[in-house]
Structure 1
């Protein structure tokens, strides 16, 4: 037998082949399409395995210094990635336990890591398995710090793996080699790797070095010393702002330190430099045991805190199987409440020591501040004067309105405010528009801050009580015209009232009863619904039709209305009243139905015809002077 034959035979004796105890192809499909948000998480899993290995070895030797190295050779489809750590390594028994039984914890003791608090968060087997998303073969070289032979482990996506015992002894630690799978070149690009390694490992206590294209760079150079106590970031403002810009990709001008009573969760809440919508996505970056878990955590802060974007680090929350989110449980609820309380306390502190800074945040993020004030009376007491509201005196800060010394009225809806704002301002009534979210609730709650102040809801009919009735002589004089006008609007279920009120520039005011408002909403929905749904809505609307009457108040002090009702031409009166009706709808921002649109179009045509048939230029000028 030749020497080469002997060597091959000996090599075969030292290599054993095995099968994974799992449906590997099915598992890879689950990882790719269901569990992980992107194949790039393979890098996080490799990094996490390395961190866990370094952490485990550090527990054996306090003087040991851990390090992690990532190297890329080649480019494109020929690229190979290697990640190496000088951690605890694996024995052959470990390899079988953690790699054959996919999903087995890399922490001994018989308890799964997702249900036990430990310094490890990885699952070595399923983490390494994620590499099949970007490589057709995984090669791992490992040497246990506990001794034994160095091992080579090769895994393939067909469900087989082999273990070869090496003659040469490695230094303790593990190396994992991946060759680029066709179509996965983006995951081996050095620039992408540099960014992703920083995203995942910016807070890690062990240095991560990337070797690529002939250069070496340490990824996590700036690991803030205020991670232990976020309040220390106040003294390093510029550093904290640069840190947020690098991690979150946005330039910030202010931040608030976050912490919980246990000290096991902390972070920095960066104040967004622009106003955001209430329904905007809350995308916070959360690190579990210093490793990035989620770039878009939405449930880590209270709903009202949508004016900040946070970097949060924790060692007490329970990750989901993908390790990209957290389980919604009692622990998460407690952390969320305490982080929200941390934000609230800082805002209240600003009111005492830095009110200009707080006012800037309130002006920029009024909606979020109102959301917090609506659920926290103490906070409302402190900031209420700086909150702005739309009123019959324009958009003003509440403090300015309070200084007027007037009674404060508010409406519950935007429609109510639009109906009465012109009349209310003319009568010097201070009315706040409560139609926007939180506004009515806050103004109503103002009575708890100022119990002696008259604060009440105002209805459109309450304002109409301030109208001046026409005299008995005028009622007799205009009786027939009022009757014609009222009859003209019956098809719109609207009655006419002739009054005098201010401002005189306002010819008409449209008000809705509760029943009429609901009926208009049903009819609007009916016009754009299917025939089946329209039939149902029509049936619902029939219950309102008897009581669903609106009112059109016509202002006799207005020259246009005065001239209309002084005219003996009934056809002109009917057309003019219909035009005043649709004009009042438009002023009140009410959507018009088909019948009302038809009345508007017909009225325009009538007045064009009358204008064209007018006798002389003098008549036309007189008509124009009167507003027609």
Structure 2
């Protein structure tokens, strides 16, 4: 075919409404935001041609609980008949035209021209009465959910502006409840620059009557502390005790970061309320602050970010990345300011949100330098801050993993050796970087085998006396590729210490994986492990100062030597929190039975005597 036919897309409006209510918008209540947005944009457009114009939006609820109508009126620029055909009859068309509308560089909130359709989620008909400030008759527009609409000219000459009438449809009664309506209007419009008045019967009140003076100058919030905290509680439903002002270098994005009064998990959702040109567009914004800032919940207002079609989220673009970095800089700078002028306040925040502070310290060396002395760590001397440790030590030891710390904690504490548990997230990294921010201290990673350097060797006479028994004990553990060393060390209550070399640790991991793998994979892992078996030996240090070990190595106890050493081995594994393989678990169970048998045998011999 050489000819081609051109067709126009047909839009199923009822299908569009279903998409709006079930997919695009998070909640039917957003129709309030959309009609207020249209009113605010209309007033803004009028002030651009009439700079002295005083705008307002009036919302009235009429009728009883079974037949309620909502009237939304603004004294904005209004619409001509041509405007109605262009902007209300074409899905995707917007009165905020031009490239600026799609890049966010506009004073209008709406961009996509579909906001009025959201009203069909709560009403079976939309009636709009409008008159343009540019002149012309008063017009009535009636829209139906089947995609039809009508326009008629009214004889009544109204003041310029627009009225939208929405009659509650069955199932939407909640959205026309006076209290729910007032809450929703405040929720979306608390920061709007024009007064929003709600009238129901004889009652009338301005929804956004308390527009804070510090909205455009967040730094002023410091001198209005109680007002800011009350404002945060009303908007976010939580009582806060502290906050941090936020502002980007351009001044086009600002806000208040409220410090959460409770500690939060690292994986907790980071939800913030964001206002675009003073209208709430999202209460679940998760990507507007750096990941480390999970200890705050923010109110943020902006006129420079680009919203998605639902206007509930923002595009992840260079502008958002820049804003996110600058808001993070605001928080970082305020914390550093506290270090100089309000250290008690900073210490309280650190104690409550130490994980977030450590996350930031790993990213920012300057911040770490300023606040490091207040950061707490788990140590062999209990929970201590770096400041407390630095007063007593110029060298700090730390382990890289939690398992390493568990292996040596009892021995290190008994030797009066301060060791930091580096097994928690960020801690080992911070310990390694500490000399970079404080040149008066050095840090060293401590391996379990390093602790053995403080153990006391046996005398030559003791080595000769225990030689044969040590060989017997050593032979008992050969099948576990573990060697015995007889030492004296503190605490005497600890009978044994198990340590792994790098090779033996890797081999244990391979063997553990082999036990739960398929035959094919198990064969591969076995081949890898066989090459390491000759050198992959662990060490079991037996403490001759311990009464149990001392008794085992007394002459005459050779019969119980093997069983006792095997039990000390598996006990040391448990003390070090090592996962045991099948062979070691079997040894534990058999050892208990053999001890019972030895006890019964000894009891029987006693009766015979």
Please indicate, yes or no, whether the TM-score normalized by the shorter chain is above 0.5.
yes
Per-residue deviation, 1:451: 2.8
Which residues of 2 match residues 391-410 of structure 1 at below 5 A?
Answer: 391-410=379-398
CA distance in 1, matches of 2:505, 2:64: 68
Over 3 Å counting, the alpha-carbon distance change for 1:534 and 1:293 in structure 2 is: farther
2:554 to 566, 587, 591: 566
Tell me, yes or no, if the aligned pair for 1:244 and 1:252 is still in contact at 8 Å.
Answer: yes
Tell me, yes or no, if the aligned pair for 1:407 and 1:430 is still in contact at 8 Å.
Answer: no
Per-residue deviation, 1:601: 3.1
Aligned-partner SS, 2:83: helix
Over 3 Å counting, the alpha-carbon distance change for 1:569 and 1:397 in structure 2 is: same
What do residues 568-598 of structure 1 show as CA deviations (whole Å, max 9, x unaligned)?
Answer: 4455223222322222222222333444333
Structure 2 match to 1:10: none
Which residues of 2 match residues 482-521 of structure 1 at below 5 A?
Answer: 482-521=470-509
Over 3 Å counting, the alpha-carbon distance change for 1:531 and 1:151 in structure 2 is: farther
Aligned-partner SS, 1:94: helix
1:471 to 447, 459, 469: 459
Aligned-partner SS, 2:553: helix
Tell me, yes or no, if the aligned pair for 2:104 and 2:304 is still in contact at 8 Å.
Answer: no
Tell me, yes or no, if the aligned pair for 2:394 and 2:440 is still in contact at 8 Å.
Answer: no
Structure 2 match to 1:23: 12
Aligned-partner SS, 2:214: helix
Tell me, yes or no, if the aligned pair for 2:78 and 2:161 is still in contact at 8 Å.
Answer: yes
Aligned-partner SS, 1:286: strand
Structure 1 match to 2:450: 462
Over 3 Å counting, the alpha-carbon distance change for 1:301 and 1:152 in structure 2 is: same
Structure 1 match to 2:268: 280
CA distance in 1, matches of 2:431, 2:556: 49
Structure 1 match to 2:93: 104
Structure 2 match to 1:239: 227
CA distance in 2, matches of 1:578, 1:213: 86
2:51 to 46, 62, 68: 62
CA distance in 1, matches of 2:543, 2:305: 66
The answer on 1:136 being equivalent to 2:124 is yes
Which residues of 2 match residues 340-355 of structure 1 at below 5 A?
Answer: 340-355=328-343
CA distance in 1, matches of 2:525, 2:163: 69
CA distance in 1, matches of 2:559, 2:334: 68
CA distance in 2, matches of 1:180, 1:543: 78
What do residues 360-383 of structure 1 show as CA deviations (whole Å, max 9, x unaligned)?
Answer: 111111111111222222222211
Aligned-partner SS, 1:575: helix
Aligned-CA RMSD value: 2.6
CA distance in 2, matches of 1:143, 1:230: 39
Per-residue deviation, 1:76: 5.5
The answer on 1:412 being equivalent to 2:424 is no
Over 3 Å counting, the alpha-carbon distance change for 1:370 and 1:210 in structure 2 is: same
Greater mean deviation of Cα atoms: 369-378 or 602-611: 602-611
Tell me, yes or no, if the aligned pair for 1:75 and 1:189 is still in contact at 8 Å.
Answer: no
Aligned-partner SS, 1:47: helix
Tell me, yes or no, if the aligned pair for 1:70 and 1:209 is still in contact at 8 Å.
Answer: yes
The answer on 1:298 being equivalent to 2:286 is yes
Over 3 Å counting, the alpha-carbon distance change for 1:489 and 1:159 in structure 2 is: farther
CA distance in 2, matches of 1:532, 1:249: 57
CA distance in 2, matches of 1:371, 1:576: 47
CA distance in 1, matches of 2:66, 2:606: 87
CA distance in 2, matches of 1:595, 1:145: 89
CA distance in 2, matches of 1:491, 1:73: 87
Aligned-partner SS, 1:54: helix
Over 3 Å counting, the alpha-carbon distance change for 1:62 and 1:454 in structure 2 is: closer
Over 3 Å counting, the alpha-carbon distance change for 1:295 and 1:428 in structure 2 is: same
Over 3 Å counting, the alpha-carbon distance change for 1:191 and 1:407 in structure 2 is: same
Tell me, yes or no, if the aligned pair for 1:20 and 1:101 is still in contact at 8 Å.
Answer: no
CA distance in 1, matches of 2:276, 2:592: 68
Structure 1 match to 2:60: 71
What do residues 22-69 of structure 1 show as CA deviations (whole Å, max 9, x unaligned)?
Answer: 332332233223222222212211111111111111222222221112
Tell me, yes or no, if the aligned pair for 1:77 and 1:181 is still in contact at 8 Å.
Answer: no
Q: TM-score, normalised by structure 2?
A: 0.92
1:83 to 69, 72, 79: 72
The answer on 1:552 being equivalent to 2:520 is no
Over 3 Å counting, the alpha-carbon distance change for 1:575 and 1:204 in structure 2 is: same
Per-residue deviation, 1:21: 6.1
CA distance in 1, matches of 2:25, 2:517: 41
Per-residue deviation, 1:124: 6.6
1:248 to 236, 241, 257: 236
CA distance in 2, matches of 1:580, 1:324: 62
Over 3 Å counting, the alpha-carbon distance change for 1:217 and 1:405 in structure 2 is: same
2:33 to 12, 27, 44: 44
What do residues 322-366 of structure 1 show as CA deviations (whole Å, max 9, x unaligned)?
Answer: 111111111111111111111111111111111111111111111
Per-residue deviation, 1:563: 0.9
CA distance in 1, matches of 2:457, 2:85: 95
Structure 1 gap ranges (5+):
1-18, 620-628
Over 3 Å counting, the alpha-carbon distance change for 1:157 and 1:596 in structure 2 is: farther
Per-residue deviation, 1:540: 6.0
Structure 2 gap ranges (5+):
1-7
Tell me, yes or no, if the aligned pair for 2:100 and 2:106 is still in contact at 8 Å.
Answer: no
Greater mean deviation of Cα atoms: 176-185 or 399-408: 176-185
CA distance in 1, matches of 2:204, 2:506: 70
The answer on 1:229 being equivalent to 2:217 is yes
Structure 2 match to 1:335: 323
What do residues 85-140 of structure 1 show as CA deviations (whole Å, max 9, x unaligned)?
Answer: 121111111111111111212224x3362224010021373001122222222222
Q: TM-score, normalised by structure 1?
A: 0.89
Tell me, yes or no, if the aligned pair for 1:290 and 1:313 is still in contact at 8 Å.
Answer: yes
The answer on 1:481 being equivalent to 2:469 is yes
Tell me, yes or no, if the aligned pair for 2:112 and 2:309 is still in contact at 8 Å.
Answer: no
Aligned-partner SS, 2:282: strand
Aligned-partner SS, 1:246: helix
Per-residue deviation, 1:452: 4.8
